[in-house]
Copies of this chain bind each other. A is one copy, B any other.
Amino acid sequence: MSRATQTTGTLVLVPNALDFGASELGDLTAALPLPVLQRAATIAHWVVEDAKSARAFLRRVAAVAPLRLPIQQLDIQELPRADKSAERAAAKATVSTAEIHLLLAPARNGADVALLTEAGLPAVADPGAALVREAHTLGLRVEPLPGPSALMLALAASGLNGQQFAFVGYLPVNAEERAHRIRELETQSRRAHQTQIAIETPYRNPAILKALVDHLQPATRLAVACALTWPQGWCRTQSVKAWRTSELAIDNRLPAVYLWLAA
């Protein structure tokens, strides 16, 4: 089924836990299947979002499965960083193909290469898609190992429509543009009966929740899923009207996912 020949390696998409390494001593097997960690432990070549946190992840892996090589001897390369403003605008990756080719060189030579990001699945609301794209172009096998996605846990927990949904990334930082975007997405939600899913950096949690509550229609159902899989995690879904009379307390250090569905 694969187009790879026996002499090419596999690009292995390694899921991370959803706690951003917050509990470095915590057991990774709470979030990830043991065979996933055992497979990860066999890989010598790593392409990662951040080398420091990747080493922390690998220390957690080593606690449950012996690594093929000591961490210091693993080949750990960082993904070229896309311009942050380009990321927010969901612009196409500006990373050069030559850089990506170099990162995939071990796989072209028959070894497995792991792709790992800070939390959850690589290339989903996270960098890495340019690497996966190039792997397909080169005819490498791409194998995603099973692990959780914070977006999908939030969607399941929200009780909003899981048959039609859109992930829209970050909302604009500028208040006026953000209000316009929120109304535009609400119209889209109403027209297609489509749940809208957005994320934000934790320190903007209070601002985005206030903006959603201010600019969505009263009958729209709004869900906040905060730190799911963490001990302090919670998810709450209610009408915007009810949110307007609720305490809007949301921690500005915890990751949150916002979801809404127009009535």
Binding site for B on A (CB under 8 A): 1-3, 13, 18, 29-35, 87, 90-92, 121-126, 128-136, 141-144, 146-149, 151-169, 193-194, 226, 228-229, 232-238
Contact = CB atoms under 8 A, between A and B. Distances in A.
A167 B87 CA distance: 21
Contact of A165 (B18, B136, B157, B166): B166
Contacts of A30: 33, 35, 146
Contact of A133 (B3, B124, B135, B159): B159
Contact of A237 (B133, B163, B169): B133
A50 to B, nearest CB: 17
A237 B162 CA distance: 25
A132 B161 contact: no
A128 B31 CA distance: 22
A1 B235 CA distance: 9
A238 to B, nearest CB: 7
A87 B161 CA distance: 11
A132 B158 contact: yes
5 contacts: A30-B33, A129-B163, A135-B159, A151-B152, A164-B167
A142 B160 CA distance: 13
Contacts of A87: 163
A48 to B, nearest CB: 15
Given A29-B33, A134-B159, A152-B152, 18 more contacts: A1-B234, A30-B146, A90-B193, A91-B193, A124-B155, A124-B156, A128-B162, A129-B163, A132-B159, A133-B237, A142-B159, A143-B157, A144-B154, A144-B228, A146-B148, A149-B149, A164-B166, A166-B166
Contact of A129 (B18, B161, B228, B238): B161
A233 B1 CA distance: 8
Contact of A13 (B1, B121, B128, B157): B157
A162 B90 contact: no
A161 B138 CA distance: 18
Contacts of A147: 146, 148
